[in-house]
Structure 1
Amino acid sequence: MAKNKFSKEWVQQHINDPYVKMAQQKGYRARAAFKLTEILDTEKLMQRGDIVVDLGSAPGSWSQVARERMVGAGGVIDGRIIALDMLPMEPIAGVEFILGDFREDSILDQLKNMLNGQRVDLVISDMAPNLSGVGSADSARIQHVCDLALDFSCHHLQPNGALIVKAFHGSGFSQIVESFKQRFHRVVERKPKASRIRSSETFLVGRRLKS
């Protein structure tokens, strides 16, 4: 982790960040909730009755957003949310959680068993690998994570389903976009307002699998 992350400047920016304040007010575990909300609103994705898989879910703000959109009358969740992360996540009512590394076959098998043949409507992934600062190595890691999410989606999404992943502009980004275009009929890039301007992160949305 970069030393300057905990510099006074960073702390001050974080404290004054309007999305951090809004997240605290709304009870979200991270400001990233607003990134997903904007993408879902723009793309008109996620509704009651959907089956959603949240990859790299900790601390859980994306699962919180999914839960909000699935709650029906009487506070009952209409749909299903399965979250997965190699870091522990505080429980969220109505969200099923798997603790483990998505890159391991045993964890992937556990997720498949939980789905029990059910097709997924939406896969969301805010996963980001630990970055080393070495461009070529980092781009390979990012591409690997995106490929895993893409491969899982191709096997488990229903035909009109969608995939949202976090990627980063730079070396390897065009290859990720190309791999999306090979698998989905519609591919768009989204840079939500809550995404910091200096950040190279960009979210890719793939919709409707190619047969």
Structure 2
Amino acid sequence: MAKDTTGRLHVTVKTGGKRKLSSKLWLERQLNDPYVAQAKRDGFRSRAAYKLQEMDEKNRFLKAGQVVVDLGAAPGGWSQIAAKRVGSLEGKGKVVAIDLLEMPEIPGVDFAQMDFLDEKAPDRLRAMIGGGADIVMSDMAANTTGHRKTDQLRIVGLVESAAEFAAEVLNPGGTFLAKVFQSGADADLLAQLKRDYTTVKHVKPAASRQDSSERYVLAMGFRASRE
């Protein structure tokens, strides 16, 4: 081990055996990530919890008594923060979460394992919500192919599907939050969001790795136009 520029011990993972260089670099980054270590100490399922926590502290969109839909929830960091802030642990609010992967139970969270892009998913989600929602948030990420343009289109397509669902279930004044990546492919999406919400902006919380193109689009003040 050696110390990094901040004085923290830096763990180096040896190559060898069946471990690829990409796996070595990923494991090294996880072992040396202060947010990963902090998440373990704080009892959060993932470092992503700090992203939502920071975005909410700056923008104040999670409130007691709200109904929250968490798309792409596993392993559950965002759901943990949402459950605490809307009060679903005390029966005040409600958090509904889905993911392709299994997710161990979280107190105050109603979870179902399903593919959001399945044609039956929206109806199943509406049944779980039992009415309108105040927040639809998505940390979903599309599977990558390695072809940059194709991957950007997949990512934007997934966010567009989430935004379409949000427009169907959000209450007036509701919030939509979704992971996107820095590219010019989301111009149409942003234009639509600006028509549907009073405030739309990009945010990059400190817990997002600085070398990542990951950022989030935050749309607040939904203008309900459903008949």
Q: TM-score if structure 1 supplies the norm length? A: 0.92
Give the Cα separation in 1 of the matches to 2:105 and 2:135: 21
The offset of 1:178, in angstroms, is 2.3
**2:100 is aligned with 1:86:** yes
Q: Contact 1:35–1:194 at 8 Å: present in 2 too? A: yes
* Other structure's SS at 1:105 match: coil
**2:202 is aligned with 1:185:** no
Give the Cα separation in 2 of the matches to 1:98 and 1:189: 29
Unaligned runs of 5+ in 2: 1-19
**2:177 is aligned with 1:164:** yes
Aligned residue number for residue 115 of structure 1: 129
- Partner amino acid, structure 2, of 1:186: T
The offset of 1:177, in angstroms, is 2.2
Kindly indicate whether structure 1 or structure 2 has the higher relative contact order, using CA contacts under 8 Å at least 6 residues apart: 1
**2:138 is aligned with 1:125:** yes
Question: Number of aligned pairs?
Answer: 205
Aligned residue number for residue 40 of structure 2: 24
Q: Contact 2:65–2:87 at 8 Å: present in 1 too? A: no
Aligned residue number for residue 141 of structure 1: 154
Give the Cα separation in 1 of the matches to 2:188 and 2:147: 18
- Partner amino acid, structure 2, of 1:158: N
Aligned residue number for residue 40 of structure 1: 56
Give the Cα separation in 1 of the matches to 2:63 and 2:148: 38
Give the Cα separation in 2 of the matches to 1:5 and 1:98: 32
1:102-126 per-position Cα deviation (integer Å, ceiling 9, x unaligned): 111212211112223x211111110
Alignment match of 2:211 (pick from 181, 187, 198): 198
4+ aligned runs moved over 3 Å, structure 1: none
Give the Cα separation in 2 of the matches to 1:86 and 1:63: 15
Closer, same or farther: CA 146–17 of 1 in aligned 2, 3 Å: same
- Partner amino acid, structure 1, of 2:100: M
Alignment match of 2:221 (pick from 198, 205, 208): 208
- Partner amino acid, structure 2, of 1:95: V
- Partner amino acid, structure 2, of 1:89: M
* Other structure's SS at 1:195 match: coil
Give the Cα separation in 1 of the matches to 2:205 and 2:22: 22
| Larger helix share, 1 or 2 | 1
1:63-117 per-position Cα deviation (integer Å, ceiling 9, x unaligned): 0111121338xx523100000111111111121111111111212211112223x
Aligned residue number for residue 66 of structure 1: 82
Give the Cα separation in 2 of the matches to 1:15 and 1:52: 32
Q: Tell me the C-alpha RMSD between the 2 structures.
A: 1.5
Give the Cα separation in 2 of the matches to 1:134 and 1:10: 20
Q: Contact 1:136–1:171 at 8 Å: present in 2 too? A: no
Closer, same or farther: CA 175–39 of 1 in aligned 2, 3 Å: same
